[in-house]
Amino acid sequence: MLQYLITLLSCLNPAFDYTTIRHLSIVAEAMIAMTGRVTMLGISIGVESNGSYRTVQRFFYNNIDWVKLRWLFIKKHIIDKDDVILIAGDEVVVS
């Protein structure tokens, strides 16, 4: 599954290095399989291969431009050139 996620996320190569994409794949794989509370320790335990608590820490320590990440993923896997796109926004305040 990890190799599939890395292939799926390879569209992020223009903006992120391979290590960040690999860490994202590891964290995503664990979070998909988890139930209940999601913690860094739970993520590191839930990973079958190449995942450790330190790997999870390194991923969350990175400064990731999530808007760019989402746009690259959507542009590659979701948008068709003949689609009509409607963009909307909503403000959320987190205390």
Name the pTM for this structure.
0.69
51 Cβ contact list (under 8 Å, min separation 6) = 26, 29, 30, 43, 44
Q: Retrieve residue 7's tokens.
A: 């292939």
Query: pLDDT per position in the chain (95 positions), as tens?
Result: 667 777 777 888 888 888 888 888 888 888 888 888 888 888 888 776 667 888 888 888 988 888 888 888 888 878 877 877 777 878 777 77
CA separation for the pair 3, 30 (Å, rounded): 13
Q: Retrieve residue 90's tokens.
A: 């909503």
pLDDT tens, residue by residue, 51-71:
788 888 888 898 888 888 888
